[in-house]
Amino acid sequence: MTAEGTIAWASMSAAELEQRLNALLGAHGSALARLAASYVNAPADRDDLLQDIVVAIWRALPRFRGECSERTFIFRIAHNRAIAYITRRQLPSDDADQDLDIEDYRPNPEETLSAEQQGRRLLEAIQQLPVIHRQVVTLMLEGLSYSEIAEVLGISETNVGARLTRARQMLRARL
């Protein structure tokens, strides 16, 4: 977006900003929910974190300058809110004792159970990673490129690759 685009965002009415927020949440809401789930285990905590993320995006929309994609913009906000949330709550990152609500709508119950167990094991393994590695894995699983991840986390693409390689090694050891 150009400088004119910045002015347009800043001058949007509350109704226009609400429509833009709804469009962003429609396009990326499930990814933001998965990102929140990668930081906290308890369903109530996930809901609280997701609500914090949505409020932060709402507040930041008028300041969007178009220097990156909207997707990168909202993921950066989500990442920052998640870090602030777990820092504020002092939640342990490796608390794997709580149940995970992973839904799978496949008709075969045996396949459903197997997929849930695999998903649970993967999510638990990801949650046991140090935050710097958990971040790159979560963003990579959401389909962000190395450059987008680097922009969201404020690190170099080389550092993204190094963290991702290390995270994969740690996941292999855990799984």
What length is written for the chain? 175
| CATH number for the domain harbouring residue 78 | 1.20.140.160
CA angle, residues 73, 77, 82, in degrees to nearest 5: 145
Which residues have C-beta within 8 Å of that of residue 55, sequence separation ≥ 6? none
pLDDT tens by residue, 32-54: 999 998 888 889 999 999 999 99
- State how many domains the chain has: 1
* Residue 91 φ then ψ, to 5°: -80, 135
Distance of CA 6 to the CA centre of its chain: 25
* CB-based burial label for 3 (10 Å; 0-12, 13-18, 19+): exposed
Tens of pLDDT, residue by residue over 65-117, are 888 899 999 999 999 999 999 888 764 445 544 555 655 454 566 777 777 88
The closest alpha carbon to 58, from 44, 73, 45, 43, belongs to 73
CB 21 within 8 A of CB 57: yes
Range of the structural domain that residue 84 is part of:
3-99+108-174
Give the pTM.
0.61
